[in-house]
Amino acid sequence: MIPPDFIFMLTRHDRTVENAADLVETVRTAGVRHIGFKDIGLPFAGLQVLARAIRQAGARIYLEVVSLDRESELRSVRVGIALGVDYLLGGTHVDDVLRLLDGTAIRYYPFPGRINGHPSVLEGTEAEIVRSAVALAARPGVHGLDLLAYRFAGDVPALMRRVCGAVADKPVIVAGSLDRAERIRAAALAGAAGFTVGTAAFDGAFPASADLAGQIGCIQTILSTTILSKA
């Protein structure tokens, strides 16, 4: 079993935290090599400082798009291009985004299914979401998917297994509301290539010391014990 990448998001309630750049060293020291943020919460100059700090820490840079309207989403994509991020997660206006990303090295992981509201909710039936995932994964320029699995009102473990199985040649990152051990375990066991945690760690949701290093350590322990149990 290949362990999924733990992507730590320097975000709380879909906004990049103000002191994000100051926290990069803590995250790096804890062993995380995949670090992300949103383009909301800091001015562009602050995002430049943050992206530079992540790069200097030797980590991959992820930008997740949470805007639902076309213009806001494309503005976020342009920010990601200007910052030189490695991965662009989320978004729904795939044709427009692919045109902007053409010629860049950015890996693009849009949302499958119908996304509504803020915080985002994943709507549609399980079958509809799987069909959306398959169609997106088949698009040239789409490198993977960003699945808001725990924003879905149905059987989430089944949804994750079906999506990961249906697009086996493209990685699936599970994002949103992974705020307890069983959800991280379920994502790993479903075959997710990665998962994101942000708000939950900042809120001290995991059974460890409430400081950031303690929360990250707990998440890593949950992941490692899950992998060992399947070895």
List the pLDDT tens digit at each of the 231 positions of the chain: 789 999 999 999 989 999 999 999 999 999 999 999 999 999 999 999 999 999 999 999 999 998 879 999 999 999 999 999 999 999 999 999 999 999 999 999 999 999 988 778 999 999 999 999 999 999 999 999 999 999 999 999 999 999 999 998 999 999 999 999 999 999 999 999 999 999 999 999 999 999 999 999 999 999 999 988 876
What pTM does this model have?
0.96
In angstroms, the CA 14 to CA 66 distance is 7
109: CB partners within 8 A, 6+ apart: 87, 88, 89, 90, 142, 143, 144, 145, 146, 171, 173
